[in-house]
Amino acid sequence: FTNNQYDDKNLTAATNSLLVKLDFLLTGKTWSAGDRITISDFLVFETADFCKNYNQAQFSNYPNVVRIH
């Protein structure tokens, strides 16, 4: 990629932003929509997996995301 929007700094910031949102979404709940797993939880897992693979250093700072991953 030659476009600057895909550089490491921007992707790290983007994954941090996603992790913050996912962690908030999961706060106080077993799954993203409550106590039962739904199709949305698979999307949450895939997004968390991408973030973990790209930004492992920050992943452990989001305990709710770590819990479901």
Q: How far apart are CA 56 and CA 48, in angstroms?
A: 11
Helices (H) and strands (E) in the chain, counts: 4, 0
Residue 5: per-residue pLDDT: 61
pLDDT tens digits, one per residue of 7-60:
777 888 889 999 999 999 999 999 999 999 999 999 999 999 999 988 888 899
Say which residue the tokens 């992707």 belong to. 11
